Amino acid sequence: VLPQFGYVALAIGAMLPAAAFVIVIATTPSLLPRWLSLAGYPVAALLLLAVMVAPMMLLSIWIAAVCVTLWRSPVPTVPTHP
């Protein structure tokens, strides 16, 4: 009984904040390219319905895409005032 309860706790207790994280990052203005922001909405919706491992793997893929995109984006320069 406990192994099944652990999976339910993972699916409900971890995927709800993960979906909220994806939505917050996807809706932050000018942080991500439009295609990656739009891809975040289905990922978040699938995370809310996560009953299998596939949405959890989709979260990992989306986070990897965000990391690569942010890593490759140019660093904004902050003007220095004398």
Instruction: Give the model's pLDDT for residue 65.
Output: 93
Instruction: Give the model's pLDDT for residue 82.
Output: 66
Tell me the pLDDT band of 2, cut-offs 50, 70 and 90: low
Tell me the pLDDT band of 30, cut-offs 50, 70 and 90: confident
Is 65 in a helix, a strand, or coil?
Answer: helix
Long-range contacts of 44-47 (CB under 8 A, 24+ apart): 44/19, 44/20, 45/19, 47/15, 47/16, 47/18, 47/19, 47/22
34 pLDDT more than 60: yes
4 pLDDT more than 80: no
46 pLDDT more than 90: no
CB burial of residue 13 (10 Å; 0-12, 13-18, 19+): exposed
Instruction: Give the model's pLDDT for residue 29.
Output: 85
